[in-house]
Amino acid sequence: MRNIKSVATIADVVIVNQWNFDSADMTHLDSPESSPQLLRALAEAYLLFDADDKLQQWSATLSDFFPNTARQISTGLSYESFLQLLAASGDLATPITADNSQVNCNLTNQKTVDVKIVHLTDKQRVFACKDISHIQREQEAQLASDLKFRQFATLASNWFWELDENLCYKYHSNHCQPLAGNDVESLAGQPRILKLDGKVVDNDQLHEHNRCLSQHKDVDVVLTWIMEDGKKLFSRILARPQYHLGNFSGYLGCGRDVTTAYELREMLQHQAEHDDLTGLLNRRAFAETLDEAFSTSRANSLPHALVKFDLDHFKLVNDDAGHQAGDALLREVTAILQQETHHRSVIARLGGDEFGVYLRGTPQTAQNYADRIIQRIDRHRFEWQDRKFTIGASAGIAFFDERSGSSSVVLKNADAACYSAKRLGRNRALLFSPENYFQQQQNEDRKKVGILQSALDNDRLKLYLQPIVPSAEFEGTSKYEVLLRIVDENDQIISPGELIPVAEKFDLIQLVDMQVVEKSIDLLQTFLSQQIDVAFSVNLSGNTLSNCSCLKRIVSLVRSSKLPAGALGFEITETSAIESIDLVSKFIEQLQAMGCRFSIDDFGSGLSSYSYLNSLPVDYLKIDGSFVSGILEDQTSMAIVKSINTLSHEMGMKTVAEFVEHDNVANALRDINIDYLQGYLFGQPRRAEEILAQFQSLQLRSGT
């Protein structure tokens, strides 16, 4: 063999970089003993032809590639004859000519071979082979995967896009064109940030989108698109930066049309802040207005007043002519208030037949305004189906000053003054005066506090249970809401509604809540110890939720009880939770980690903002019964229930419908996939001892 040491660099370029072997071994090619080892390093199979183009040597592995040809070759065979023999052998599915220097060949044995023909400087020739079948299969698999991805991208409700290292489009799926663009093919090579200019509203979300792309950070924003017809659409954009060998290589991103969800949220926001019947602000939204007014009054010392109106004889209209007549009367009273109230004042329906008006002015101004409204209502004759009704109104006036302390106190003062006006003969407005009101009120409160304190001290807080049933098949666990009943010294049950406001006012509600939680855990352990599979949901007040000591005590009780996951849950109202949202969120997360579940109670009756729900990781939403009971007669109630249910499921929560009293209502709720139902149709609240005894009786009859 001639010395081919001088052509090491050529072989390095042609073969080594492609096939990854050590070119340093080529220094030994001038040794006849070592040349086969080097050629084996060069290729999986090879033939070496000398300067006269005669076959000098070949590898034993040649038969793995060309079995028919390998049986017929011999030393001294010319290169041309070898090619003819190879073509006639039937080993090749792809021909090789003398002019080829590199070719991929398909063999009849299903292999794909990379053949390289290297001419050395001394005119020797190496015919080298390498099996690349696995590379071919990987490439085909990659192409199939890419095709499948593009098909999925076309079928998906989301749209997908890919950017290069310069933030220019490499790919964009060709659907969702209103948001993606009418000609997605033209996006290739175009910078994403510039292509969004003019199509997307220039707001904080767009700025965040551009900032994240520029800084190669994860993207999670909602962009607002302006269509040609002026309509707004919303899309949620998610994207992650990609890296190759540690270097930024672009982005993979997707978009999703969330317009419907945003429109529903805006509708719910409006419904949450306004009374559905009158269109006025509701109590919760009005309270926020009062908070702002209280801050303003303290800052500039301007007089601000709250006037609360309570209709007289409204119940007579409801009882005699029906609720439709009562609703019509409330709308007429709303019109009177709007006609007589300055546009800078704020009117709200506080609930039932109660209205609140916030206005600026002196005590005399507020008194004159309240008297004028009362006179208008007194002269008003409400007509319904050939019948006429005379009604009246009482009003209480309270002012924002340094003595009121907070807007909630102002509202309580106005309510107290209104109550006093009714007791003094109705159809009049009374300015709140601590001297005239508090003595009587304190006497009544003192009596109620005594009853409540005695019940706490003598174990007269009794637990009642009301079932919460799944709307579909029974899940194996019987769920109950724990309800409180208070027993006085004469063993008479007192409605919690009479004593709870006093308990909250005098900071006794935390003691009540803690006793109820302790009793509920003890009762739950009793059920479970007798192999009765139940789960309890316990109500917590806003005062308890804002008290760190109470929350720590509840965590300690749950931890020491070692209840199974899902056995214990808590119900909280959104309005109470958001007052200490950070504290409550941590409390929820801590107890959820211990297996407890949380519900937002009476959802829909207050602010009901989904922005708060994002910060309150609850498991259930209990839809306020005022909507549930009217879903068959009122399309608006049905729409509200549907929208709450849809968005709840989107946020990973289950729904509970309260106040279910009729089969047709239950069936309508099942049809829209409400998860759980609660109401008198499935059982009234019963003493916990009765329900325990019922389960024990069933166990005896079944022999378990």
Question: Using one digit for the tens of pLDDT, what is the confidence trace for 334-384?
Answer: 999 999 988 788 999 998 899 999 988 888 889 999 999 999 999 999 998
Query: In the prediction, which pLDDT does 333 show?
Result: 95
Sheet strand arrangement including 159-163: 169-172, 159-163, 247-257, 232-244, 219-226
**Cα separation, 48 vs 30, whole angstroms:** 14
| Residue-range domains of the chain with CATH | 5-131 (3.30.450), 137-257 (3.30.450.20), 274-432 (3.30.70.270), 445-702 (3.20.20.450)
- What pLDDT sits at residue 149? 64
Q: Please tell me the predicted confidence (pLDDT) of residue 74.
A: 92
pLDDT value at 547 more than 80:
yes
- Rg over alpha carbons for the chain, rounded to the nearest Å, is 41
Within 8 A by CB and 6+ apart from 30, the residues are 1, 3, 4, 5
Query: Percent of the chain, pLDDT > 90?
Result: 36
pLDDT recorded at residue 611:
64
pLDDT value at residue 538: 97
What is the pLDDT, as a whole number, of residue 481? 97
Task: Check pLDDT > 90 for residue 615.
Answer: no
* 91-95, 225-229, 289-293, 625-629 — most confident range: 625-629
Kindly report the backbone phi and psi dihedral angles of residue 540, in degrees, each rounded to the nearest multiple of 5, phi listed first: -125, 135
Residue-level pLDDT at 306:
92
pLDDT-based confidence at residue 537 (cuts at 50, 70, 90): very high
Helix residue ranges, H only, 274-313: 283-300
**Residue range 278-296: mean pLDDT, rounded:** 84
pLDDT surpasses 60 at 681: yes
Q: How far apart are the first and last CA of the chain?
A: 94
Q: For the residues 46-69, what does the mean pLDDT come to?
A: 88
How high is the pLDDT of residue 8?
Answer: 29
What pLDDT band is residue 436 in, cutting at 50, 70 and 90? low
Q: What is the pLDDT of residue 150?
A: 61
Is residue 687's pLDDT more than 60? Answer: yes
Average pLDDT value for residue range 7-30: 34
Beta carbons of 678 and 466 less than 8 angstroms apart: yes
**CB neighbourhood size of 432 (10 A):** 24
Alpha helices per DSSP H over 89-132: none
Average pLDDT over residues 635-645: 91
What's residue 183's pLDDT? 63
At 18 the pLDDT is 39
Find which of 40-54, 110-124, 262-276, 289-303 is predicted with most confidence, using mean pLDDT.
40-54
- Which of 136-150, 231-245, 295-309, 440-454 comes out lowest in average pLDDT? 136-150
Beta pairing partners, 503: none
Q: What is the pLDDT of residue 166?
A: 94
C-alpha 678/C-alpha 659 separation (Å) is: 6
How do residues 651-662 score in pLDDT, each as one tens digit?
Answer: 899 999 999 999
Is the pLDDT reported for residue 4 higher than 70? Answer: no
Mean pLDDT in residue range 175-203? 75
197: DSSP letter: B
Specify the pLDDT at position 163: 93
pLDDT of residue 152: 57
State the pLDDT at residue 297: 64
Q: What is the mean pLDDT of residues 632-661?
A: 92
Considering only 98-102, 355-359, 396-400, which range has the smallest mean pLDDT?
Answer: 98-102
Amino acid 383 reads: E
343: helix, coil or strand?
coil
Environment class of 593 (CB within 10 Å of its CB; exposed 0-12, middle 13-18, buried 19+) = exposed
Q: From residue 144, give the alpha-carbon distance in Å to each of 6, 120, 151.
A: 45, 40, 10
**pLDDT for position 669:** 96
Q: Whose CA is closest to 663, among 471, 481, 457, 404? A: 471
Q: Tens digit of pLDDT for each residue in 220-242?
A: 999 988 877 778 888 889 999 99
Average confidence (pLDDT) over 89-103: 75
- Does 480 score more than 90 pLDDT? yes
> pLDDT at position 670, please?
95
**pLDDT at residue 597 greater than cutoff 90:** yes
Q: What confidence category does residue 629 fall into, taking pLDDT thresholds of 50, 70 and 90?
A: confident
Instruction: Tell me how far apart the alpha carbons of residues 132 and 113 are, in angstroms, rounded to a whole number.
Output: 5
pTM for the model: 0.44
Q: What is the pLDDT of residue 612?
A: 72
- Give the mean model confidence (pLDDT) for residues 162-187: 75
CA separation for the pair 551, 541 (Å, rounded): 11
Residue 94's pLDDT band (cuts 50, 70, 90): confident
Low-confidence winner among 53-62, 109-118, 663-672 (lowest mean pLDDT) = 109-118
Q: Rounded mean pLDDT of 65-78? A: 90
CA-CA distance, 64 to 70, in Å (whole number)?
Answer: 9
What integer is the mean pLDDT of 7-14?
Answer: 30
Q: What is the mean pLDDT of the chain?
A: 82
Q: Are 564 and 596 in contact (CB under 8 A)?
A: no
pLDDT at 553: 93
Residue 53 has pLDDT above 80, yes or no: yes
**pLDDT tens digits along 503-512:** 887 778 999 9
